[in-house]
């Protein structure tokens, strides 16, 4: 069994893990460390964590989160389209332009409705 074609994948993994470890280590060694109670307190979702567990949540936080996920996933469709653009030709280009038009119209609609505003 010839494993030579998998060498670039192994090299990619080794370089990626090595770079990640090196950068985190450099940050730990070179970065300032001045912890205090405020910095060490958990912060998750825009409100104080040490309140009653039955408190009412602000729905705006979840709406912004869902909108971010939707727009993030839609943006992820642009990468494979860009890679395959030469292969799919004009029909693929026009289909993506329709998709982007819907994407922009949805964004403008949400913006005008105030769904992206945090009061």
CATH for 50-119 is 1.20.58.1610
Q: Provide the residue ranges of all domains of the chain, joining segments of one domain with +.
A: 1-31, 50-119
Single pTM value for the model: 0.48
Q: Compute the distance between CA of residue 74 and CA of residue 102 in angstroms, rounded to an integer.
A: 10
The tens digit of pLDDT for each residue in 11-31 reads 999 999 999 999 999 999 999
pLDDT values of the chain reduced to their tens digit, one per residue, 119 residues: 788 999 999 999 999 999 999 999 999 999 988 888 777 776 655 556 566 666 676 777 787 788 888 888 888 888 888 899 899 999 999 999 998 999 899 889 988 988 777 76
Q: Compute the distance between CA of residue 61 and CA of residue 103 in angstroms, rounded to an integer.
A: 22
The predicted structure's pLDDT at residue 53: 65
**Structure tokens given for 42:** 């958990």
Stretch (H or E) spanning 55:
none
């Amino acid at each position: 069994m010839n494993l030579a074609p998998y060498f670039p994948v192994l090299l990619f993994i080794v370089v990626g893990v090595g770079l990640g470890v090196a950068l985190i280590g450099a940050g730990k060694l070179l970065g300032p460390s001045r912890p205090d109670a405020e910095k060490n307190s958990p912060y998750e979702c825009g409100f104080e964590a040490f309140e009653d567990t039955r408190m009412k949540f602000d729905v705006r936080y979840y709406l912004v989160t869902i909108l971010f996920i939707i727009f993030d996933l839609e943006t992820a469709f642009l990468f494979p389209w860009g890679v395959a653009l030469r292969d799919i030709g004009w029909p693929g280009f026009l289909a993506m332009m329709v998709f982007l038009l819907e994407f922009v119209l949805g964004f403008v609609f949400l913006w005008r409705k105030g769904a992206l505003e945090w009061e």
